[in-house]
A and B are shown apart, each in its own frame.
Chain A
Amino acid sequence: MRRLAAIAAVAVIATVTGTACSGVGGSGEAGVYTTIDGAKQIDATAPINPFNPQGNTFLGYDAMSLAWPKNDPVDPNLFYPGIAQSWTTTPDQSQVVVHLQPNAKWSDGKPVTSEDVKTSIGLAYTQGGTAYAVDPKAAGAAADVIVVDAHTLKVTQGANKSNTFLRNVLSTVVVPAHVFGSLLPADFWTQLKLARGTGPAAEKAKATITGLAQKVITFAPAKDVSAGPFVLERVNPGEALLVKNKHFWASDKIAPKMVKVLNYTGNQQIWNYLIAGRLDSAPFTATPSGVLNRIRQTDGNEVVKGFSPVAVSMAFNQTKAPYDNVHVRKALAYLIDRSQVTKVASPEGGTPSPTTTGIHSESAKSWLGNSENGLDQYKLDPAKAAQELKAAGMKQVNGKWTMPDGSPWVVELHVPASFSDWVAAAKAITSQLNDHGIQASVLTSADYTLYLDELAAGKYDIGLWLMALGPAPYNIYQRIYGSANGWQLLAGNLTHVAPGTQGNWMGGPETVDGVNPGALTNQLNAATPAQQKQIVGTLATLTNQNLPMIQLYDYVNTQFVNDSRFTGWPPNDSDMLRLPAGVWMQLGLIKQQGAR
């Protein structure tokens, strides 16, 4: 056994070393665009099916949405056209009319029609989801799907309106009805109507629809039929090869003849691809400074940076003492030097959060304007921290802070072991706290799934937590005042469950100074832009003062491109950087190097 463990460890080193040495010299094949899929690793046995999480379809290349979200820091309803050429919506988003690309065709030559979109929506119902929830009371659920003509489709929203309806409808992934249509029973739409009612017939219909989920996920078409610029030719454990789809409506814009999507086992393998100059572009990959410098030295490699609507925070379990006391949370905020934490953890892929608002600092500028200046910045201030700790009743004995009853206080900061920047951040935080007399240590979980399970089970006092997942303000604050903090939205009804139950691990109070932050967050769904701004202002102030979490650093979307074979990349800060390179090609950006 011991030998086995040792062999396993050595094998990992050998594999990584082998990877480091492989592939030097770049792909070098003319017209072949080489990249990786940042969303998933390749599983050659997975079906060619976009409904399968491991499916061998690649968004932007052979998997197409109606439109591509720009993920604007403030407006979630801005898109680039996809299969939809244009769209219109009523001011309250009660109705969305989608006009398809008139010349869109599948890779087998058949036209893309409204029936394809309707079938795709039907399949989406089997998987559940925001716009396509079977429960008609769910916020933002579609009420009806009407085919107006071969290239026009109307989708109406149910009674419980959400201002993210347009976004959710346009994010629909479209699959060919002549391939996937047989998965839906002939009376599917009748069943759906039934399922929206009440009584035993409705329950039976609901069960029929949700019962289709597994059948849809496991469906394996014999070949790829794509409406995107590429179609999957073959896939093996090392790479997927996609060839140009001659039927794509804007194929003249597509420079590469083929796209090679390389597989990877971890970040270091992506770094090695980049150092070898093999990748024409790579999405965000956490990269240490030394490696980034090495990547930059490779001919043609460039780093492009833009906004990424994600931040990292240190979230408290308020069911556990002393983190139920706001003074303790504030004291910790005053003791953490976020600049130093960012410098240690993510010097290239993050910027220290100016303060805690719950929003990425780039978005906060637009949402909060000057009012952000009125918030507490929580700059490093040990004196203020000591005041806060004393206000919480904590005691200082021989330079060490203890609990009010004199028992030892040990801050345990939990992180998943596989997130190297989080591990480094947690270590930097505990070092800082130890410097100030607070005994602190880092505890790791073997993997992220286990970490989330244990976090939800309330086993941790403090854990690092992704937040500010915009751009929709509801999504942003849902991370703080959502199910993890006790607010559950079921069939349009918002309830607050007791701390420590049903995944409520944050355990914050239901109201703070008379304000119910969960209810306010829920209102963001249906609020007008002006109302949203007001609510966001209230929630940002509340978050800043109540500190259910301490915002540490905001991610920067650091991407890599290589000019050797292709050119015409999105510039720094372009909203296209938040979309796959296949979409850049659809929008006519990428050109063969040297082509006129």
Chain B
Amino acid sequence: MTVVEGMPPTTVTLRRNFWRGVGRVMRRKPSRMVGVGIVLVFVFMGIFGPLLYPNPLPRDDNALYASPSWAHPFGTDFEGTDVLALVVTGTRYVLLAGLTTAVITVALGTVIGLLAGFHRGRWDTVLMRLTDLQLTIPGLPLLLVLSTVWKFTSPIEMGVVLGLLGWGGIARAVRSQSLSLRERGFIEAAKGLGLSTRHIIGRELLPSMAPYIAMNMLIAVTGAIYAQVGLFFLGVLPFDANNWGVMLNLSVFGGGALSSTAALPYLLAPLLAILLLTLGIVLVVDAMDEIFNPRLREE
């Protein structure tokens, strides 16, 4: 047995058992492996996609809205640019905005939910009224108004705004979990030992909720993808030819993809990308659900 230096043998054993459990979960349903594969492909596209193609992407004036072929599996766009290349190079913006949104949503939602649920009293009242306020803000109209003054040229800006508008639900859910956990024995024991609030929240409460938070984070990514692509599709956000939402917009309103077949592949490619990415995330969440199930860990 190899023992990692500086780490007690029991920790190493637990970690090894955990990864064995992960392996078992993944093998139990091969679709989960497919999900991980899909997510990894999109992450690869997001990191290396723009490096795979020349910048700017080549155009062919004689192949506007070309049909699918070996050279162009999803045809070409209005300018004769390969649609697959547009989808691949556009992945980075979508993923970055999605991840930023998810991180902000989860971080804000978790902190506010934990503090409100653990402290209760005034903390709870103030933080939950703040959460209620956030939940009452109509997101789409606000974004439509914001888009007139803010151009959202970077995915981080997009993600920050979507994140700030989307943490309310998670905050409420985390608060509920905290209210339940704070009555459990181990929290009572920690309080009895005189441990600090920081320790109790950070080392006792948070790890118990980590799986739930992690799954919410992944689901938040899909939500953010829908939201940003929807906004780009509506034409209220800046033009970027390889943005999936812009592609959907141009294929429908510029190419008439819903009225003729010429621009249909141009419409289907980003739709398929969104579908696959969502499917991948859902399958990974399914796997995570079982991995973090305490009964599984006992096996």
Chain A interface (Cβ < 8 Å from any Cβ of B): 1-6, 8-10, 12-13, 16-17, 20, 266-268, 271-272, 275, 287-291, 293-294, 340, 343-344, 415, 417-418, 420-421, 423-424, 426-428, 431, 434-435, 442-446, 450
Contact = CB atoms under 8 A, between A and B. Distances in A.
Residue of B151, B228, B249, B253 most packed against chain A (CB within 10 A)? B253
Contacts of A423: 239, 250, 254
A343 B238 contact: no
Contacts of B139: 1-2, 4-5
B257 to A, nearest CB: 9
A288 B252 contact: no
Nearest to B255: A288
B188 to A, nearest CB: 37
Contacts of B166: 1-2
Nearest to B235: A417
A17 to B, nearest CB: 6
A289 B254 CA distance: 10
Contact of B56 (A13, A418, A421, A435): A435
Q: Which 3 A-B pairs have the closest CB atoms?
A: A1-B139, A290-B262, A9-B230
7 contacts: A2-B223, A16-B258, A290-B256, A291-B262, A415-B239, A431-B56, A431-B59
Contacts of A431: 56, 59, 79
B196 interface: no
B137 A1 contact: yes
A3 B229 contact: no
Contacts of B238: 443-444
Contacts of A443: 151, 238-239
Nearest to B153: A443
B74 interface: no
B180 interface: no
Contacts, number: 152
Contacts of A267: 253
Given A417-B239, A446-B144, A427 B234 contact: no
A445 B236 CA distance: 7
A427 B239 contact: yes
Interface string B235-269: 11111010001001110111110111111000000
Interface of B: 56, 59, 61, 64-65, 78-79, 101, 137-140, 142-144, 147-148, 151, 162, 165-166, 220, 223-224, 226-231, 233-239, 241, 245, 248-250, 252-256, 258-263
B215 to A, nearest CB: 16
**Which of B56, B137, B259 counts the most A-chain CB atoms under 10 A from its CB?**
B259
Contact of B64 (A4, A344, A418): A344
A420 B143 CA distance: 22
Contacts of B226: 2-3, 5-6, 9
A267 B255 CA distance: 11
B222 to A, nearest CB: 9
Given A12-B233, A343-B61, A421-B254, A2 B227 contact: yes
A446 B212 CA distance: 38
B165 A1 contact: yes
A13 B101 CA distance: 24
B262 A446 contact: no
A3 B144 CA distance: 15
A416 to B, nearest CB: 9
B260 A290 contact: yes
A427 B241 contact: yes
Contacts of A289: 64-65, 262
Given A5-B143, A268-B258, A444-B239, 11 more contacts: A1-B143, A5-B139, A6-B229, A267-B253, A344-B64, A424-B250, A426-B239, A431-B56, A431-B79, A443-B238, A444-B238
A445 B238 CA distance: 7
Contacts of A271: 256, 259
A290 B255 contact: yes
A340 B61 contact: yes
A268 B78 CA distance: 16
A284 to B, nearest CB: 16
Contacts of B262: 288-291, 293
A38 B149 CA distance: 31
Contacts of A343: 61, 64
Contacts of B138: 1, 4
Scoring B79, B144, B256, B263 by chain A CB atoms within 10 A of each residue's CB, the highest score goes to: B256
A443 B249 CA distance: 15
B223 A6 contact: yes
B79 A444 contact: no
A290 B65 contact: yes
Nearest to B163: A2
A293 B262 CA distance: 10
A266 B253 contact: yes
A558 to B, nearest CB: 14
A443 to B, nearest CB: 6
Contacts of A418: 235
- The interface centre, meaning the residue of A4, A426, A435 with most chain B CB atoms within 10 A of its CB, is A4
B230 A8 contact: yes
Contact of B224 (A2, A8, A417, A435): A2
B282 to A, nearest CB: 15
Nearest to A16: B258
Contact of A290 (B228, B230, B234, B263): B263
A249 B151 CA distance: 56
